[in-house]
Amino acid sequence: MRILFVSSEGLPFSKTGGLADVVEALPKALVELGHQVTVVLPKYRGTKTTAIADRALSIALGSRMRFPAVADGGALHGVRYLFVDDPCFDREKLYGDAKGDYPDNGERFALFSKAAIEIARRLWPADVLHCHDWQSALAPVLLRSSYADDPLMRSVPVVFTAHNMGYHGLFPYEILGRVGLPPELFTMDLLEFYGRVNYLKGGLVFSDYVTTVSRRYALEIQTADYGHGLEGVVRKRGDRVRGILNGVDYSVWSPEADKLIKAPYSARDLSGKKACKKDLLAEFKLPAENEARPLIGIVSRFADQKGFDLIAAVVHEMAKEDLAIVALGTGDPRYENLFREMARAFPSKIAVRIGFDNTLAHKIEAGSDMFLMPSRYEPCGLNQIYSLRYGTVPVVRATGGLDDTIENFDPLANKGTGFKFDAYDGRALLDCVRVAVRVYNDQDAWRRLMANGMAQDFSWTASAAEYSRLYEAAKKGRNQSAAAASNEARREQSPRREEPWVNLSPV
């Protein structure tokens, strides 16, 4: 099957979050199953590719014409990459800067969605489109409206993955005219959302199947607590919603093969992990005395969603425990400043690096003893899965994919892979950390816990097979719909035979 991935980011070319990891790893796994996969990405200013644009598309965007180029990035691990190259993507960041989201994001990603359809129509015919998050959500909307009568595209199905329901792509009503969408779409059942146009809603409504990135999250987004106002839309499409857990590319995230860490190690020989911890402490300029303490690692976007309000509520008490913390991330200035202040207050135990550094992220996974993820909600989460393989014990809140992938440790039964807490509360977080520290002090129990985690297999093989079956179902359903529509059209065009008049009046 020919599968076209449509995403606003993807490694190794561009990244702001876990979406990029998925768009790198899942296509590779699908290729290994025998599929042909092409990934379409925007070409941003910082996109790490030398691909040169050699073709151009003509795209109507409202009353204007745009002529984005298409750059062929060649193949990587059997996956072909194409880039939509237009001046609107030539920005320092992907979605916004310090002032907020770019004001023309509605037009930028409408152009991207239209370009992806034209690529499937003209350059790389696809059997199915797999679109990701709101930035590509207009693709299914366009296929079922502007391209509904196009013989090349009307039978192409769309699988749409909502990686995070918290990001909608909300724009004023006028965006419809600016991007060339019919005003008839602005209804409560389609794109309208409290007086605005909601791109994510369009993806949920118009796709053949909707997926989320864990089974628990697929259930959670049908509730008011996690649906972000779209829970009714998801419930209405419940028979077409699937939760497919994200996998991990162990060729990249495994201590045996990782080229970015100080020393390799495995469950059979953990000596390299001690070298990695020593190296990590030196990287953050923390004293060697912390080698004997449990070291908590954090790699995250600094935001409320990731539970940083909980960390803020108890971090002073946490710092008084016999532990050390290293954090890497960027985001809300409140939390960036919080970690800077804590590093100044506890310079021998807490250190922070503001920004994103892939090499340092690998070092934190390998060198930490625990990995902290107290998320308010977490569709899947990847770092807790990485951590398991590195023998870095996850401490998480039981939500979404965190709950699906981590089993609470029971030292008596020698079962479990980490530590979980339920209540979204700073005290619950602190108590959970304290339990983890107590187990750490029993090194026999801790080694058993590490071994349990390192034995887990969250590779993409099973998830890719599940997606493969879903693509087949989407294609079959779309073909059946097209056949039914064709039969109906033929019936409408056939001459009608007059039925004989039957007088049913009483005599």
% residues pLDDT > 90 (the chain)? 89
pTM confidence score: 0.86
- Tell me how far apart the alpha carbons of residues 190 and 201 are, in angstroms, rounded to a whole number: 7
Tokens 């190794």 identify what position? 12
pLDDT tens, residue by residue, 190-202:
999 999 999 999 9
Is beta strand 192-193 parallel, antiparallel or unpaired with respect to 209-212? unpaired
pLDDT tens, residue by residue, 406-449:
999 999 999 999 999 999 999 999 999 999 999 999 999 999 99
Q: Select from 109, 136, 27, 121 the least CA-distant residue to 73.
A: 27
User: Per DSSP, which regions of 43-114 are E strands?
Assistant: 53-56, 59-61, 64-66, 69-76, 79-85, 96-97, 100-101
Given this model, what pLDDT does residue 498 score?
40
What number of other Cβ atoms are within 10 A of residue 497's Cβ?
A: 5
What is 451-497 written as a DSSP string? HHHHT---BHHHHHHHHHHHHHHHHHHHHHHHHHHHHHHHHHHSPPP
Q: What is the mean pLDDT of residues 374-382?
A: 95
**H-assigned helices in 323-459:** 333-345, 358-367, 383-389, 400-405, 426-440, 443-454
Res. 218: pLDDT tops 70: yes
Q: What is the mean pLDDT of residues 439-468?
A: 96
pLDDT tens, residue by residue, 153-174:
999 999 999 999 999 999 999 9
Q: What is the mean pLDDT of residues 365-389?
A: 96
Give the chain's domains with CATH numbers.
Answer: 2-247+462-481 (3.40.50.2000), 271-454 (3.40.50.2000)
Given this model, what pLDDT does residue 441 score?
96
- Tell me how far apart the alpha carbons of residues 301 and 322 are, in angstroms, rounded to a whole number: 26
Res. 506: pLDDT tops 90: no
pLDDT tens, residue by residue, 248-275:
989 999 999 999 999 999 999 999 999 9
Query: pLDDT band at residue 499, thresholds of 50, 70 and 90?
Result: very low
Tokens 């925007």 identify what position? 42
Task: Evaluate whether 245 touches 275 at the Cβ level (below 8 Å).
Answer: no
What number of other Cβ atoms are within 10 A of residue 504's Cβ?
A: 5
Is beta strand 419-421 parallel, antiparallel or unpaired with respect to 393-397? parallel
Res. 504: pLDDT tops 60: no
Q: How far is CA 435 from the centre of its chain?
A: 30
Q: What is the mean pLDDT of residues 388-399?
A: 98
Q: What is the mean pLDDT of residues 486-497?
A: 55
Given this model, what pLDDT does residue 398 score?
97
Res. 505: pLDDT tops 70: no
Count how many residues are written for the chain: 507
Is beta strand 170-171 parallel, antiparallel or unpaired with respect to 196-198? antiparallel
